[in-house]
Amino acid sequence: MRFARAATKRDLKSGELDVYDLLMDPSEELRGAKVEEMLLAMKGMGRIKVTRVLREAGISRSKTLVGLTHGQRDRLLGALGCEDG
Q: Decide if pLDDT at 78 tops 70.
A: yes
Mean of pLDDT over the chain = 92
The 3-state DSSP class for residue 65 equals: coil
> What pLDDT, on a 0 to 100 scale, did the predictor assign at position 83?
63
8 touches 38 (CB < 8 A):
yes
Percent of the chain residues topping a pLDDT of 90: 82
Residues 57-66 have pLDDT tens digits of 999 999 999 9
> What pLDDT, on a 0 to 100 scale, did the predictor assign at position 48?
97
Domains of the chain: 2-80 (1.10.8.50)
Q: Model-level pTM greater than 0.85?
A: yes
d(CA 56, CA 33): 20
> What pLDDT, on a 0 to 100 scale, did the predictor assign at position 10?
96
d(CA 55, CA 14): 25
Tell me 29's DSSP state: G
d(CA 30, CA 62): 14
